Amino acid sequence: MPHQRFVRVNGIDLHITEQGSGPLVVLLHGFPETSYSWRRQIPAIAAAGYRVVAPDQRGYSGSGRPEGIDQYSIFHLVGDVVGLIRELGEQQAVVVGHDWGSMVAWQTALMRPDVVRGVVGISVPPLPRGSRPPLTLTRERFGEGFYQNYFQQPGVADAELNKDIAATLRLTYAGVRKAEPDPGFLGGIAEPETLPSWLTADDLAVFVDQFTASGFTGGLNWYRNLDRNWELTAAWQDAPITPPSLYISGEEDGVRSFYPMDDAARAIVPNLRGVVDVPGAGHWTQQERPEVVTEALLDFLR
C-alpha cells in the first residue's frame, strides 16, 4: 500500500506518497492537481518492481508554500526534484511529469542529465527556448485573456479560484467550454451535467480537501515565473535533452493546440523513444485513461 510522509528538501517540507522498492521513479503532478492524480499509477508501477515517489510539489497541498513569488522559479522546482532524489538516498531516477510537472521533468533532464535516467512528459512536450519571453508570445497570439497571462496579477486569479474550491475543481476537471465565455478563468467553462467516469465524488472530495488546505496561490506562482524562467535559462538555449525520453498525450488534449510535439520539439530530444497518443483522453491524461498511460510508462521503464 502507498504510504505518506514528509521529506525536507531545499528548506521546505515536501509531502510525498511512496510505494515499492527497486529503481526510483518520481511522478510530478500538474496544475491544479496533487500527487493524488497518480493514484492509479503508483500501485501498478510499484508492483512491477519499482520504488515510486509522488511529491506534492512546492505550493501544493501539505507541502511548503513559500510566500515570495520568486521562490517558485524553475531553478527552485528543478532543485526540489534533484534534492528529493538525494534525500531518498538515490543517485538517479526516471522522472515523469504531467502538465506543469512535465515542464519540470524536461527541465530537470536538461539541467541535470546525470540525475535523470529517463524522462517522460505527459501533455506538455519538450519546449525549445524561444527568442522572446513566453508571455509576450501568448499575449500576441491569444490576447491578454489567455489563462497564463490572466494568472499574472497577484491576487486576481487567486480570489476567483479560491472563492468556491469545489466548483473551481469541478469546472476545471470536467466542465464544458462555452461558445461565448465570460471573463476570468472559470468564466469560459460551463458546469458538467455529471462527473466523468474517471473522477468519482470521493476523488473530487480529496482534491477539494487538499486545495482547501493550500489554496491556489502556490500553483499560480509557478505561472508568475514564466518570463523569469525564460531569462534564467538563457544558458541552455538550443541545448538538447539527452536522457532517454517518452512523450504521452491525450488525443483530445487542448494543450496540443498551443504546445505541439512538432519538429522543433523533437529536435531537442535526440533520444526520444516514442510518442504515445492516448485515444479518448483530454488533458487529465493519467486520470482519464490510467491503463493506457501506466502500460506506456511500464514499457518505457522496462
Catalytic machinery residues = 99, 283
The H or E element that residue 43 is part of is helix 41-47
**98-114 burial: b if 16+ Cβ within 10 Å, else e:** bbbbbbbbbbbbbbbbe
The burial class, CB within 10 Å (0-12 / 13-18 / 19+), for 133 is middle
How far, CA to CA in Å, does 256 sit from each of 57, 125, 181?
A: 24, 9, 21
Kindly report the CA angle at 115 between 26 and 87, in degrees rounded to 5?
60
State the angle between helix axes of 165-174 and 156-163 in degrees (0 to 180), rounded to the nearest 10. Answer: 90
What is the chain's length?
Answer: 302
How many Cβ atoms from other residues are within 10 Å of residue 193's Cβ? Answer: 7
- The rounded distance, in Å, linking the Cα atoms of 258 and 229 is 19
